[in-house]
Amino acid sequence: MAGTDHTKTPEPALSDLATPTVILVEPQLGENIGMAARAMLNCGLGDLRLVSPRDGWPNEDALAASAGAVQVIEAARVFKTTAEAIADLNFVLATTARHRDMTTRIVTPQQAAGEIHAALSKAGNRAGVLFGREAKGLKNDDVTQADAIVMVPVNPAFSSLNLAQAVFAVCHEWYLAAIGDAERPALAIPKETRPANKAELNGMLKHLGDELEASGFFHVAGKRPVMDRNLRNMFQRANLTEQEVRTLRGVISSLTRTHEK
Amino acid sequence: MAGTDHTKTPEPALSDLATPTVILVEPQLGENIGMAARAMLNCGLGDLRLVSPRDGWPNEDALAASAGAVQVIEAARVFKTTAEAIADLNFVLATTARHRDMTTRIVTPQQAAGEIHAALSKAGNRAGVLFGREAKGLKNDDVTQADAIVMVPVNPAFSSLNLAQAVFAVCHEWYLAAIGDAERPALAIPKETRPANKAELNGMLKHLGDELEASGFFHVAGKRPVMDRNLRNMFQRANLTEQEVRTLRGVISSLTRTHEK
């Protein structure tokens, strides 16, 4: 076949990887679709599907709000029904903000991440998460097509999440599970002492800076801002207690008196 | 003092509880401030502070985008400098998207939640999280005023988070730690029913098997035990409620009547 194959090797799309699909059902505002695409790409996801977007597709507002997640917007596919949009998926979760009058298993985003990983670990399997339209959420007919419900735990007195926020909340847990603990930064042991507040720390630092200035420490003009920052950074990391700040002020005063002799 | 005190008992403000403060440093778009306020209230937080918001304050766009988080917007306080905005705080975290050229401890939102809880567990202590302006983030001078950096782990190839998204990512981990595992959902079931017990499930399965037998379904001798097991397995996985079992028996009876005609 040499000489007849002129097709380029396509770049692997994010959607080709074993990542979950995001399905927005009847989204209304293009801006929210764009922000959802941005949130997806923040979490390494690329396969976006839209079920009957109210304002049609493509949508300029979506592109603008995606803040550069153009590849997600351009690869998005539109379907007429939820059933068609999820036809090739083996494992589907439905995101809802409220309890439904139906018997359904509910998982947290963290648990959802584990289940999606388990589903995707089988060759050829595809998984996805359904998100309903703004304000009203998913219809019960959509929810019953899912294997389980994902509910993002939020303040019950104010539980309405922005659509892109909900997408991020679910997808980010998947991303965290995907990168694993190894790549997360390390934790230092917190102090048990009562920490100084910022006014106390700043008071000490200003005291120190002023005395250094008076002593001619900043002999090069303009040197103080950089030195101030370096000193602040040092003392900040020290996690000083209120007592220690007072001690340091005593030290500064004492050194100054010696200096003035 | 009876008869002279006409003050109403004030509702406890969210900001009076031991919750962290959110400080937006030089935010640009009112819409982002509003969405950040909404994200805060989703996570049960109410104390919002603004350092030199570009378009002044109050801001109509912020109110509109808050989607009802009016209490957070109206209680927001404006400060000229970051130092003033955090003067009364004992523990401060700075959110950044990129590594800084300085020696600073970095924590994940989950670790930050633990540290904020530890800080707030001491009476009189206050904690807060700094978020920088859109696109540019916090200045190094702001970062050095914090005790540690919070970094939300995201796709390194597309790491720019919407401001409200970053606020949610950090505050939601605090909220999850605050509510604890006990209050997270497991299985939703309508109040008026309960999970079916095994006798009910078996009764329905026997009903089904008997009717199938009568209808000639098991035309091959000895086929029933295997088919019974397959049917049981299917209905077992469905986690049926008592109501649903009764519904299924009604379905079987109805189908049988049609069949007998």
Task: Give pLDDT tens digits for B82-139.
Answer: 999 999 998 999 998 777 666 678 899 999 999 999 888 877 889 999 999 988 899 9
Stretch A17-35: mean pLDDT = 94
The residue with greater pLDDT, A191 or A148, is: A148
What pLDDT does B190 receive? Answer: 61
Residues A33-68: tens digit of each pLDDT: 999 999 999 999 999 999 999 999 999 999 999 999
The whole-angstrom distance between A114's CA and the closest CA on chain B is 15
Task: List all residues of chain B from 40 to 99 with a beta carbon under 8 Å from chain A.
Answer: 41-44, 67-69, 83, 86-92
Of B89, B185, B239, the CB nearest to A151: B185
Do the Cβ atoms of A196 and B90 come within 8 Å? yes
What is the pairing mode between strands A104-107 and B187-188? antiparallel
Answer yes or no: is pLDDT of A155 > 50: yes
Rounded to two decimals, the ipTM of the complex is 0.72
Integer-rounded Cα Rg, in Å, for chain B is 29
The CATH number given to whatever domain includes residue B252 is 1.10.8.590
Q: Which residues contact A97 (CB under 8 A, 6 or more apart)?
A: A137, A151, A152, A154, A159, A160, A161, A166
* Same domain, residue pair A54 and A176: yes
CB B94 within 8 A of CB B115: no
**Same domain, yes or no, for B203 and B142?**
no
* Residue B126 shares a structural domain with residue B73: yes
pLDDT band at residue A257, thresholds of 50, 70 and 90?
A: confident
Tell me if B143 sits within 8 A of B104, measured CB to CB. yes
pLDDT band at A102 (very low <50, low <70, confident <90, very high): low
Interface probe, candidates A143, A160, A236, A242, chain B, greatest B C-beta count within 10 A = A236
Using CB atoms, which residue from A100, A161, A176 is nearest to B188?
A100
Q: Is residue B28 part of a domain?
A: yes
| A160 near B CB under 8 A | yes
B115–A42 C-beta distance less than 8 A = no
Domain co-membership, B122 together with B222: no
| Distances in whole angstroms, Cα of residue B238 to Cα of each of B195, B201, B233 | 11, 11, 9
Is the residue at B73 inside a domain? yes
Residues B23 and B53 in one domain: yes
Chain B 234-253, residues with CB within 8 Å of chain A CB atoms: 239-241, 244
CB contact under 8 A, A67 and B162: yes
Please give the residue that has the higher pLDDT: either A184 or A199.
A199
- For residue A11, the model assigns a pLDDT of 37
Q: How far is B211 from chain A (nearest CA, A)?
A: 27
| Number of domain units in chain A | 2
The predicted structure's pLDDT at residue A132: 95
Are the beta carbons of A195 and B147 separated by less than 8 Å? yes
Task: Select from B120, B154, B180 the last residue of a domain.
Answer: B180
Which of B125, B153, B180 terminates a domain? The answer is B180
Question: Which residue segment(s) compose the domain that A225 sits in?
Answer: 191-260
DSSP tag of B152: -
Of B124, B133, B119, B229, the C-alpha closest to A239 is B119
Q: Let me know how long chain A is.
A: 261
Asked if B176 and B196 sit in the same domain, the reply is no
| The pLDDT of residue B86 | 93
The pTM of this model reads 0.73
Domain with residue A165: its CATH number is 3.40.1280.10
Residue numbers of A between 99 and 118 with CB closer than 8 Å to B: 99-108
CB-CB contact of A242 with A194 (8 Å): yes
pLDDT in tens, A200-226: 888 999 998 888 888 888 777 778 887
Render pLDDT for A169-181 as a digit per residue (tens, 0 to 9).
999 999 988 887 5
Last residue in a domain, options A128, A145, A180: A180
Confidence of residue A152 (pLDDT cuts 50, 70, 90): very high
Average of pLDDT values for A24-36? 97
Confidence of residue A151 (pLDDT cuts 50, 70, 90): very high
What pLDDT shows up at residue A131? 97
Note whether B241 contacts A103, CB cutoff 8 Å.
Answer: yes
Instruction: Give the amino acid at A256.
Output: T
A235 pLDDT tier (thresholds 50, 70, 90) = confident
Cis previous bond, B58, omega within 30? yes
Q: Do B38 and B126 have their domain in common?
A: yes
Any chain B CB within 8 A of the CB of A4?
no
**Tens-of-pLDDT digits for all 261 residues of chain B?**
333 333 333 333 444 458 999 999 999 999 999 999 999 999 999 999 999 999 999 999 999 999 999 999 999 999 999 999 999 998 999 998 777 666 678 899 999 999 999 888 877 889 999 999 988 899 988 988 888 899 999 998 898 999 999 999 999 999 988 887 545 555 555 666 777 777 888 899 998 888 888 888 877 777 888 778 877 877 776 777 888 888 888 888 877 775 454
